[in-house]
Amino acid sequence: MEPERSGRRWLIGIAGLAVAMVFGTVLLARIIGQPEGAVRLIDIPDGTAARLAAGEDVQIVPDDLQLRLRDTLVVVNHDSVTHSIGPYRVAAGQTLETELSKAATMEASCSLHPSGSITIQIGDPAA
């Protein structure tokens, strides 16, 4: 092999390695630099369904629930009936725990509001 060609291949290899290292570093920094999510707890007390049926305004979850990506939503249902909060259904005596991994805005049913609906917004943690 000619020395000039060998030198070019060596330089191309070094340049490729340098590009890969920069790309890898930037990618790793984006992954590591992401803020951790928070735990968002919704605790449904025993007797909530009866209070709602009696016409009480029960303030357990806001009408507009704001969450961030990587947050963990925990819903603990101490009531004797199944409750729904948007797409999440939690049976009596059960706990739901889910990490939020997709940005979305949804308007859905909610058994904890007299209106029967809730807006859930899952957004970018940097916003």
**What's the pLDDT tens digit per position in 117-126?**
999 999 986 6
Phi, psi for 97 (deg, rounded to 5): -135, 120
Residues 6+ apart with CB under 8 A from 90: 44, 75, 76, 77, 82, 83, 84, 96
* pTM for the predicted model, two decimal places: 0.69
Which 8-state DSSP code applies to residue 115?
Answer: T
Arithmetic mean of pLDDT, 47-62: 92
User: Residues 5-28: pLDDT tens digits?
Assistant: 666 676 676 666 656 665 655 554
Residue 113's pLDDT is what? Answer: 86
Grade residue 105 by pLDDT with cuts at 50, 70 and 90. Answer: very high
- Can you list the positions of beta strands (E) in the chain? 39-44, 64-68, 72-77, 83-85, 88-90, 95-99, 104-109, 117-123
Q: What 3-state DSSP class applies to 61?
A: coil
- Judged against a pLDDT cut of 80, whether residue 4 lies above it is answered with no
| CA–CA dist 60, 76 (Å, integer) | 11
Mean pLDDT estimate for the chain: 83
